Amino acid sequence: MGVQHWDVVIVGAGPAGGRVATHIAERGHSVLLLEEHEEIGRPFQCAGLVTPNAMKEVGLFHSILEEVDGALIHGPSGTLVPVGTEGKVRTYVVCRKIFDQGVVKQSLEAGADIWLNSKPVDANVHDDHVDLTISRNGEIINISASLLIGCDGAHSWTRRHFKMGKPKELMIGFQAEVVGYEGRDRWLEMFSGSEIAPGFFAWVIPSGNGSHRIGLWSTAKRLEGRSIEQCYDNLLKHPLWKDRFSNVSETARYCGPVPSGMVKNTFKDRVILIGDSAGMAKPTTGGGIGPAFEQISGIIENLSAALTKNKLDKKTLHGICSKHFSKMHKDQNRARALRNLLVSDCSDEVLDKHFNSFAKPEVIQLINEVGDIEKPVPLGMALLRKVPAFRKLALKAGAKLIFT
């Protein structure tokens, strides 16, 4: 008996894998999802923010715990910049377990197969297929696919096995689930400063039933030997903010990586990376769900046609992916450059000055008009062009930002 064959085998049943599987199964191709855990949506390592566009795409409104209208952003010395409008939803807070399970369920309803407790141990690409050796419930099974898609997250086996490069940045995220925080309804909060979240920010996000998620992210280099938990403790004990956290009790805590900056090779002969495995998370917010959905919807029609012809060599995949992926790559680079210029590469003193400029009514108005967490580049460019205090920065950034 020959080995079982699927048109597409996807490694990883997270939001990227589930979404890709749905698109592919809906177009009539056979798909197998491999998930190394026994359950979808665990372990959970996410603040759970899902943008309205990503939510609209999957319609999983029952996974929403809270709607968020805006962010109260605090500078290192306490300057407040409120961004958002009461009653206008900017983002949703979801239960990741229900969300991920919903995304994967949609793929099964569209005809995809799933093997839980299963992971690849070897893969070899041939002219017309990929041979895969899978460990399923500890048993070794050989299968084949026309195309292998790696949706296996930040430490992707697929990416490492096929030597497809590394994401440009690997941020470390930490989060605690708490009760006892008194925040403003429908608003999240962000805190900055080198003791709290060097180069990045900490967050407090309402997560339903009086609970909140307190988290922060940074890079190993910027932490300069400190642990991420130390920065979390610094936030809770900070002279400006400690009163807010005085009644907080933790119910859970976890840590996870945020890979951002697309890898050098997002595809090879008969292999593609999607989502965190490809380094898709946003350099400005760490959000990875929306970009993963965007990555697949941008290529699916042409990919489906190539699957029908079983023409999936690197050159054909280049024709399908490169235009769309290069634009995403370029947007990420610009967003990172703007983030570094305005926030990440600034001392607390300089960041305070920037916050004083952000807090001016006309600048808040500009942020609310142009600001979109899904498209931070137009906002950054508008700030550099229109806010007098940032014009010098624009000159410093010069051609690098405008033309990269």
Evaluate whether 292 touches 16 at the Cβ level (below 8 Å).
yes
CB of 397 to ligand FAD, least distance (A): 27
Q: Kindly tell me which of 277 and 316 has the beta carbon lying closer to ligand FAD.
A: 277
Tell me how far, at minimum, the Cβ of 173 lies from ligand FAD, in Å: 3
Residue 181 or 200: the one with the smaller Cβ distance to ligand FAD is: 200
Question: Do 149 and 21 form a contact (C-beta atoms < 8 A)?
Answer: no
Q: For residue 155, what are the CA distances in angstroms to 171, 172, 273, 276?
A: 12, 13, 12, 8
Where does this chain bind ligand FAD (CB under 6 A)? 11-17, 34-37, 45-49, 119, 151-153, 157, 173, 175, 215, 256, 258, 275-276, 281, 286-290, 292
Of 48 and 376, the one with the shorter C-beta distance to ligand FAD is 48
- Distance between CA atoms of residues 162 and 130, nearest Å: 12
Which one, 201 or 390, has the nearer CB to ligand FAD?
A: 201
Closest residue to ligand FAD: CB criterion: 288
Q: Least distance in Å: CB of 34 to ligand FAD?
A: 5
Minimum Å gap between C-beta 46 and ligand FAD is 4
Phi, psi at residue 372, to the nearest 5°? -155, 120
Residue number with CB closer to ligand FAD (258 or 366): 258
Give me the least distance between CB of 204 and ligand FAD, in Å please. 13
Give the nearer residue to ligand FAD in terms of CB position, either 145 or 289: 289
- Closest CB to ligand FAD among 136 and 353? 136
CA distance 364 to 83: 7
Least Å distance, CB 213 to ligand FAD, is 8
Structure tokens at 167: 């994401």
User: Closest approach of Cβ 389 to ligand FAD, in Å?
Assistant: 30
Q: Is the dihedral of CA 341, 372, 211, 293 positive or negative?
A: negative
